[in-house]
Amino acid sequence: MGLAKKESMRRARQGKTDNGLGNVRVKGENFYRNALKLKTLNMYKEGEPQRNTQGKITLAAAYQSRDIPNARIEPNRLLSGSLGEKD
């Protein structure tokens, strides 16, 4: 019989309890939103671009700018042909 099946081991396991401080929060702390949740909500809130009276966009929304980064994609032989083909 295994060691976990003995009566003395069962009593020892049942005697172990935590201190009950697992769900205690600091008073005034916002525990509904963490930093990631707040960043996501701000992204949704700032989703509208600013427009002038004619309806033209004066300030683009977040993630909507037309700036193109100067990046060069390195050539890769795997991507130049058909993906299903083997050489």
**Residue 83, pLDDT above cutoff 70:** no
Residue 62 near residue 46 (C-beta atoms within 8 A): yes
Q: Which tops the pLDDT comparison, 61 or 37? A: 37
Give the pLDDT score at 54: 96
pLDDT at 29 over 70: yes
Q: Quick check: 55 pLDDT over 90?
A: yes
Q: How far apart are the first and last CA of the chain?
A: 58
Cβ-contact 57, 50 below 8 angstroms:
yes
Tell me how far apart the alpha carbons of residues 9 and 1 are, in angstroms, rounded to a whole number.
13
Question: pLDDT at position 70, please?
Answer: 82
Which two tokens mark 13?
């396991």
